[in-house]
Amino acid sequence: MPSDDDSRARRALRGLWSTARGLTAAIANPPPACSTCLDLARNQRVAHRDPDEGRRIEGYPTMSVFAQSAGPNLDGCPYCAVILVATYLQADFLIRENATVNVYFPMGEGLLINDTSWARAESVNLQVYTPLGQIPPWPTFGTSRRVSSDSGSQESIDRIKEWLTDCTTKHSECRESQSSLLPTRLIDVGDPAAGNPPRLIETTPGDSGAYVALSHCWGLNQTYRTLRPNLSAMKRGLTGFDMPGMPKTFKDAIILTRTLGFRYIWIDSLCIIQDDTKDWEVEASKMCDVYSNATLTIAAASAAGDREGFLGTRPHPRKSMVNTFPSHPDLVSNLEVRCQPKHNRTHPLLRRAWVLQERLLSKRLVFFENDELVWECRTKRTCECEGLDNYQNESWGSERPLSISHKFMQSSREEIYAWWKYYVLEEYSQLSITFGMDKLPALSGIATKVAQQTGDTYLAGLWKEDLCLGLLWSVEEARSNPPGRKFDWEHDYTKSAQVAAEYRAPSWSWASIDGKVTHHVREQFSKVPGRQQHMVFLEADVSLAGMDPCGKIDFGYLRVKCPTLAATINLKYDAKGTPQYRLSFSDSSVSLRYDQYETFQPDVPFAPIEYTNAQGSILRMVQRGERDTVYEMVDKVTVKLAFVVTTPNAEENIYRRYALALGPSGTVEGAWEKVGRWGYYNEEGKRDYFPGVEVEELVIV
């Protein structure tokens, strides 16, 4: 036991330590001279969300507040003057509008000035930093690597070469032989010094070598293509390279290929004969190998069409702020201001469906974005400003694709199926595609890789061994509920999906609709203790429309055996007046108890019909509505629930049960089509079936 004297001594020491710590803090944090910006002293800021993310000035000052603090001749607060001048140099309209701004300090990125206006289509984000290798005038302004003002400059080319060398020599995940089997056709970029123009060549089967590939947006008026009539001419030389005839994106790609030291480039619209259906099918089925074998893929991310190009002066070059403060000659500013590079995926190219597989299949890519270059390989993602290095474990992590690397392809089947459903399909289904019939071909390359790894059978976008969970996709919908008035179905509701204009997949496939799909059942099925699979798959097959086993299909069906139950769709309204569907059951012995919660999600608009069942009764049921069917809520109509799976959760003491909502097929007599998905869970964890449920054999088309 410590003595009373020991206890008193310890208390005295604690008191001295507390006093000393307080004095140290007072010395380290003197009162700020400027009440507006607090002298941009990082240790005076209030933490913005997580302390590791950075700090910001409290409140949202207007530009006039900073102008007043900076003084009429910039003879006031030099820190407020930095904010004012930086804004003037890159976004002077914010000063004219007296906009409110958010000024904060993300770790490693210097000072950021963010326009807070919700009315603007795109917010303004300015970055003030000290160029790498120079001493910051004030600690607040961290260093950052300069981004070249020209994407085609020698500085930019050297950066790409640096990334490429680093990747091919140091990344074990990426390091492979740079000599691969060559595609059927390539563009030989030629040698300008020798007078050799770029031309289309045909390779010999088994030829190997190094080449790059182009990922690009065609645009609305793509006329520069290889066709049967001009095939011979394209082999003699690509016309218009030194004239306006050739799209700028192609010119830029050929110039970059030469500059990087490669001889060949693959461009889809030039290396596939576009008016030859057979050639298109054969070459499209090889897309997996084309992008997987390319040493580098050039992604023209910022160009919405081939006429725009991707090499040239950037729209918002950096600007220097040297000697900005006449009243403070001792403060020499080595600061620069630029529009902050957008580390997001909103560029035109990345909204294109075909590009997802080009991106995932490629060993390494360099994205030519509006603001800077971005490098992506199986090991690393980085960019010219190196800001992405700070994002690797932050917001970017959720957006970073899981590329098809050797390491990934050694994953278990269920891990690959999960990746397919929860990343590939959810991302792919929201992307735009010019020709709806390309919905499956545009994903064929990735599907081919998955089929090679798993040995599984591909069924119109689903996998035979994963049908139980793969069928449980649903459509995301968007609703708006304006305050102050009742929900208006016609004006306030937009459904994100419609049935495809032409047949391209059976109703049980997500590829049968246009719209974003999601999979809420995210458990790996084999790892759910006590799981129950209710649906037995007796037959599952598709009829191919061409030579690609992962491409277009003519027809597909499932023959299943499962518990079924007739349910009535009831239209209800919540407290806000928002319409929602709830199901009830004609069997009086079946009901949803107070502790059971349901979700019913239609795939596309319903088309009510009269249906005569096997007993001769006439039922009011629903089918999938035709494309462009007006969205109207239905009430008191019947659907057939086909139960698929139950997944218990012992930790939460609940179970979830899922069923397909079916209506009579409009094309195959006696068959059924998927019109939605139904799910519910029970808080008490009771796993018994509904009483009275019967097992039935069904054909779903």
What pLDDT, in 10s, does the model give residues 345-371? 678 898 999 999 999 999 999 999 988
Q: Please tell me the predicted confidence (pLDDT) of residue 108.
A: 52
Number of neighbouring beta carbons within 10 Å of residue 28: 9
Q: Are residues 474 and 385 in the same domain?
A: no
Assess if residue 6 is contained within a domain: no
**Overall average pLDDT of the 125-148 stretch:** 80
Task: Name the nearest CA neighbour of 548 among 666, 451, 661, 404.
Answer: 451
H/E element holding 143? strand 143-144
Query: Pick from 93, 110, 144: which residue ends a domain?
Result: 144
40 has pLDDT over 80: no
Backbone angles phi, psi at 259, to 5 degrees: -65, -35
State the Cα torsion 417-420-425-428 to the nearest 10°.
Answer: -170
pLDDT tens by residue, 258-309: 999 999 999 999 999 999 999 999 999 899 999 999 999 999 998 999 999 9
Same domain, 238 and 89: no
Number of Cα atoms under 13 Å in the Cβ half of residue 648: 12
Domain range for 106 = 38-144
pLDDT of residue 52 exceeding 70, the answer is: no
| Residue 36, phi-psi category: left (phi > 0), alpha (psi -120 to 50), beta (remainder) | alpha
What is the distance of C-alpha 225 from the center of its chain? Answer: 29
Examine residue 330 and state whether it is found in any structural domain, yes or no: no
> Which range has highest mean pLDDT (98-102, 135-139, 434-438)?
434-438
Q: Is residue 9 part of a domain?
A: no
Is 571 contained in some domain? yes
User: Are 242 and 389 in a shared domain?
Assistant: yes
Query: Among 70-84, 122-136, 191-205, 210-224, which stretch is predicted with the lowest mean pLDDT?
Result: 122-136
Based on the fold, state whether residues 471 and 375 are members of the same structural domain: no
Per-residue confidence at 596, pLDDT binned at 50, 70, 90? low
| Domain annotation covers residue 248 | yes
pLDDT in tens, 626-651: 876 666 788 999 999 999 998 877 66
Q: Higher-confidence residue: 240 or 31?
A: 240
Rounded to a whole number of angstroms, the distance between the first and last alpha carbons of the chain is 81
**Angle, in degrees to the nearest 10, between helices 78-91 and 63-70:** 130
- Residues 131 and 165 placed together within one structural domain of the fold: no
Q: Which range is least confidently modeled, 7-16, 28-37, 47-56?
A: 7-16
Task: Please report the pLDDT score of residue 408 as a whole number.
Answer: 64
Is 331 a domain residue?
no
Please check the confidence at residue 327 and state whether its pLDDT lies above 60: no
Residue 627 confidence (pLDDT): 76
Q: 135 and 214 share a domain?
A: no
Q: Give the confidence band of 15 by pLDDT, cuts at 50, 70, 90.
A: very low
pLDDT in tens, 405-417: 655 667 888 889 9
527 φ, ψ to 5°?
-95, 10
Does one domain contain both 377 and 425?
no
The answer to the question of residue 49 being in a domain is yes
The more confidently predicted of residues 578 and 10 is 578
Q: How far apart are CA 681 and CA 28, in angstroms?
A: 57
The residue-averaged pLDDT of 380-403 equals 59
* 491 has a pLDDT exceeding 50: no
Average pLDDT over residues 670-696: 78
Taking residues 23-37, what's their average pLDDT?
53
Per the prediction, the chain carries an average pLDDT of: 82
Mean pLDDT of 482-490: 44
Question: Considering the chain, what percentage of its residues have pLDDT values greater than 90?
Answer: 46
Residues 136 and 120 in one domain: yes
**Mean per-residue pLDDT, 121-145:** 78
pLDDT of 572 reads 85
The answer to whether residue 227 is domain-embedded is: yes
Is the model's pLDDT at 7 over the cut of 90? no
Number of domains in the chain: 3
